[in-house]
Amino acid sequence: MILIPVLGDQLSHGLASLAGGPEGKVVVMMEVAAEATYVRHHQRKIAFLFSAMRHFADELRAAGWTVDYVRLDDPANTGTFTGEVVRAAARHGATRVRVVEPGEWRVAGLIEGWTIAAGVAVEVLPDDRFLCSINDFAEWAGARKRLVMEEFYREMRKRTGLLMQAGKPVGARWNFDADNRKVPPRGLNYPAPPAFAADDITREVLDLVGKRFGGHFGTLADFGFAVTRRDALAALYHFIAYALPRFGDYQDAIVEGQPFVYHAVLSPYLNSGLLTAREVVDAAAAAFDAGEAPLNAVEGFVRQIIGWREYVRGIYWWAGPDYKDSNALAATRDLPDFYWTGETDLRCLAQSVGEVRAHAYNHHIQRLMVLGNFAMLIGVEPAQVEEWYLVVYADAYEWVELPNVHGMSQFADGGLLGSKPYAGGGAYINRMSDHCGRCRYDVRQRTGPDACPFNALYWDFLARNRAKLGGNHRLLRMYDSWDRFSPERQAETRASAAAFLATLPGAARYWAVAE
């Protein structure tokens, strides 16, 4: 008998380990405390995964599979993947374990130990839900001196044939990003993603999570995630019909009271396996072919999925388990406690934290240019920032979280993933959001107690890190500007940053705040 563990982010009927049908096989699915607490995930994320796992197990059973489902509250539950695989292998007399490669180095290490722990051969299959395999990425990366996402993306366009015509990009351009930075006019009718009513399974899970993990960050109120493939498909088609046409135009916009703007809000479904990358980009391309969505929107969306998503996954496995250990900017500050409480006068930060507490979601520009930018400017230790991102987002798994945070957002890898730090001052946030007019700080003031702190912090960050960043050709213009500041203005800017930094709350970890 072959035992097939299906992990919480492997909820796909086309999973490689399920090929060949149920004959002679038992699927084991495990709710284990270790996965819910290796970081203390947002309550909503745990509830989403447990409910999606329970529904998926029922779907597999309906398709003829024998599924051994271990619930969190089973008194015999050992609390770990390894403990449960060992127990299940013994229960079913397994002669072999077959599992699809996991999404984290941490879990890959656990799986390596299963052969000895369970006393059976373990076969690990490639995760072919991704469009670029780990090996193909390594080959692509190994042949280059410098890694550039845009080059990878073009390869992926050619390889998949998406938005291609006779070997050339549709619209005669590969990338329409320049058309995707519009400021939304007031009064747009934003399409909220669909919310799905809780059924008995979800209600039971919400109760369990509230009792067991009620001290974790976030709230379970108004839980409306899709927890089945059918509902995830409904969310996909809702996005294609109502949000995709304007996704491109307003991709970078931050609008108060509109946490989703025109974003897809599909990442929890993609990353858990309820949706596949291929079907999502095919649906977007079909909308373009049918004249239902413009090219700048569809190309932008396709680039996020077959470009960025595949690229960060490739980097994660290619860079190795030590990738997270670098700290190129030698940042050591503790994460301020308002990342957990939202209690700060900086309106953009307070709003982003409030939204992630409620929805386990922020869109990309909030993650990058508000929360990540601020943490980098003040010099927070990368590991603390990474832990926060892994906790708070429903879509966070290390393969996707780490490159985005460590590389793209904190520049802690020294430029492996991105060619320059994503740093910005108040002017950027003011241009892309409507927060600043309602903030207690004045974005037009450069220094002083009432000035937007991002302004002085931005220049202080550049000045502080000159030895490490001064030679970066993409920052030369900014260092030129800094050098044209008078010595008095430079001193005033740095003093203003120092005064603000001195007001930051010290170390406060979320368990101290949340409980």
Q: Nearest distance from residue 386's CB to ligand DLZ, in Å?
A: 14
Q: Nearest distance from residue 31's CB to ligand DLZ, in Å?
A: 4
Q: Which of 122, 405, 417, 436 binds ligand FAD (CB under 6 A)?
A: 405
Residue 9: name its binding partner from ligand DLZ, ligand FAD, none (Cβ under 5 to 8 Å by kind). ligand DLZ
Q: Nearest distance from residue 331's CB to ligand DLZ, in Å?
A: 26
Q: Per-residue x/- marks for ligand FAD, 285-324, CB under 6 A?
A: ----------------x--xx--xx--x------------
Q: Does 7 bind ligand DLZ (CB under 6 A)?
A: yes
Q: Which stretch binds ligand DLZ (CB under 6 A): 5-13, 119-127, 294-302, 314-322?
A: 5-13
Go through 151-178 and write b for each residue having 16 or more CB atoms within 10 A of its CB, e for each that does not. ebbebbbeebebbeeeeebbeeebbbbe
H or E element at residue 26: strand 25-30
Q: Which residue shows structure tokens 């839900």?
A: 129
Residue 100 near residue 10, CB atoms below 8 Å? yes
Q: Does 102 bind ligand DLZ (CB under 6 A)?
A: yes
Residue 298 near residue 163, CB atoms below 8 Å? yes
Q: Does 263 bind ligand FAD (CB under 6 A)?
A: yes
Q: Does 405 bind ligand DLZ (CB under 6 A)?
A: no
Give 266 or 346: the residue with its C-beta nearer to ligand FAD: 266
Q: Does 202 bind ligand FAD (CB under 6 A)?
A: no
Distances (CA, A) of 446 to 254, 437, 482, 485: 22, 16, 13, 12
Q: Nearest distance from residue 181's CB to ligand DLZ, in Å?
A: 33
Q: Nearest distance from residue 180's CB to ligand FAD, in Å?
A: 11
Go through 304-336 and write b for each residue having 16 or more CB atoms within 10 A of its CB, e for each that does not. bbbbbbbbbbbbbbbbeeebbebbbbebebebb
The token pair at 102 is: 């996991």
Q: Does 400 bind ligand DLZ (CB under 6 A)?
A: no
Residue 364: name its binding partner from ligand FAD, ligand DLZ, none (Cβ under 5 to 8 Å by kind). ligand FAD
**Residue among 487, 482, 484, 435 at smallest CA distance from 463:** 482
User: Could you write out the three-class secondary structure of 191-218?
Assistant: CCCCCCCCCHHHHHHHHHHHHHHCCCCC
Binding footprint of ligand DLZ on the chain (CB under 6 A): 7-9, 30-32, 35-36, 41, 46, 49, 102-104, 107, 397
